[in-house]
Amino acid sequence: RRLISRIMSRSGRVVQLLNSRPRLAAINLSLIPYPQALALATGMNMNLGRFLELGERGYNLERLYNLREGLRGKDELPKRMVSEPQDPQRPETIVPLAAMLGGYYRCRGWNEEGAPTAKKLKQLGIETLGTEPTVPLV
C-alpha cells in the first residue's frame, strides 16, 4: 500500500501528460532525472526528497479541490474487476477493494472518507483558508 501511495504521488502528473500527448510516450521518461529537470525548468532548489514531497502535496491538493467541488472520494473500480475472480479457477482472486481502501487511505494520511487529515495537511504545509486550499511555494 505504501508503495502504491508513493507511485501515485510521483507518477500521476506523468500519466496525465502521456494521456494528453501520446507521442511523448516514445521518450524513455525513466532516464530523465526528474528533480534536476524540474530545478532547471523552474529555478527551484530541488532534490529527490523535495521532489517527492511536491508530488505528495500536489496529490493532496488535488484531492482537497475535488472534495471542495463536491466530487466525493469514489475510489472504485469497474464492477467486473471487483466482483469476478481474476483467475476463473481460483475464486479467492476477487479483488477485496473495500478492505484494501481503508489501508490505502491510512497510508496516505486520509480519513475513512478519503479526505486528507489535518495532521497530513500540516505535515505538507497546506492550510485551508475558508474554502480555498493554499500552499506556500517550495
- What are the residue ranges spanned by the domains of the chain? 2-134
C-alpha cell at 51: 521532489
C-alpha cell at 16: 496525465
Q: What is the tens place of the pLDDT at every residue in 58-117? A: 889 888 888 888 877 667 777 777 777 877 888 887 888 888 888 889 999 999 888 899
Query: In which band, very low, low, confident or very high, does the pLDDT at 138 lie, cut at 50, 70 and 90?
Result: very low
Q: What is the tens place of the pLDDT at every residue in 30-40? A: 656 888 888 88
Topology of domain 2-134, CATH: 1.10.599
* pTM (predicted TM-score): 0.62
Break the chain down into helix, strand, coil percent, rounded to 5. Answer: 60, 5, 35
